[in-house]
């Protein structure tokens, strides 16, 4: 009888967030991976893994953000991941928040682009992340986020 594979949901907005998230993949070798992003064209980059597209939204459009939250809640509830991992931005924060509320372990890795301060999503995600990380040593503080290196 084999052990059940951990179900890892990897969530990121398009662009640099997606690139950084994909650089983490060796850490999840042997796990069941579910990818969630805002760009359908990325489906060709995830092999045979499950792929979910969600709408993009930001704090500048509250209705779209609410719609995104509803869609993500249903998707996360359906998938029931063991762990949710995100590099940002708004879809990533919502995944961390909702995943935590639904019992998943959560990991937030703030984008390497945030040199001087954490992203707004990163600041908010810290409350819900079991592991809260920054890619800049000078942004690490006691109580989080922590620094263990950069993925780029």
Q: Is 134 part of a structural domain of the chain?
A: yes
**Per-residue pLDDT for 1 more than 70?**
no
**CATH number, residue 78:** 3.40.50.2000
Residue 112 pLDDT: 80
Q: Is 57 part of a structural domain of the chain?
A: yes
Kindly tell me the sign of the dihedral angle through the C-alpha atoms of 57, 63, 68, 73.
positive
Question: How many distinct structural domains can be found in the chain?
Answer: 1
Confidence of residue 2 (pLDDT cuts 50, 70, 90): low
Residue 151 pLDDT: 79
Name residues whose C-beta falls within 8 Å of residue 61's C-beta, 6 or more positions apart in sequence.
Answer: none
Q: Look up the pTM and report it.
A: 0.94
Name residues whose C-beta falls within 8 Å of residue 52's C-beta, 6 or more positions apart in sequence.
Answer: 34, 35, 36, 37, 75, 79
CA proximity to 83, closest of 150, 136, 30: 30
Q: Give the count of beta carbons closer than 10 Å to the beta carbon of residue 12.
A: 29
Q: Is 152 part of a structural domain of the chain?
A: no
pLDDT digits (tens, 9 = 90+) for 8-20: 999 999 999 999 9
* Strands annotated E in the chain: 7-12, 32-37, 50-53, 83-88, 105-109, 131-134, 146-147
- Which two tokens mark 82? 């063991």
Q: Is 122 part of a structural domain of the chain?
A: yes
Confidence of residue 152 (pLDDT cuts 50, 70, 90): low
Mean pLDDT of 46-55: 97
pLDDT top residue among 97 and 1: 97
Prior bond to 140 cis, omega within 30?
no
Name residues whose C-beta falls within 8 Å of residue 122's C-beta, 6 or more positions apart in sequence.
Answer: 88, 108, 110, 111, 114, 134, 145
Domain range for 109? 7-147
Mean pLDDT of 92-98: 97
The mean of the pLDDT values for the chain is: 94
pLDDT above 90 coverage of the chain, percent: 84
């Amino acid at each position: 009888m084999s052990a059940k594979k951990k179900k890892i949901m990897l969530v990121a907005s398009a662009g640099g967030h997606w690139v950084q998230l994909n650089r983490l993949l060796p850490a999840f070798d042997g796990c069941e991976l579910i990818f969630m992003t805002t760009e359908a064209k990325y489906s060709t980059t995830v092999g045979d893994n499950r792929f979910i597209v969600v709408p993009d939204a930001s704090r500048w459009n509250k209705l779209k953000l609410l719609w995104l939250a509803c869609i993500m809640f249903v998707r996360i509830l359906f998938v029931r991941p063991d762990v949710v991992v995100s590099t940002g931005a708004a879809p990533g924060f919502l995944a961390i928040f909702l995943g935590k509320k639904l019992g998943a372990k959560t990991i937030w890795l703030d984008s390497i682009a945030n040199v001087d301060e954490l992203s707004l999503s990163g600041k908010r995600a810290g409350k819900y992340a079991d592991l809260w990380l920054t890619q800049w040593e000078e942004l690490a503080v006691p109580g989080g986020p922590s620094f263990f290196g950069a993925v780029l």
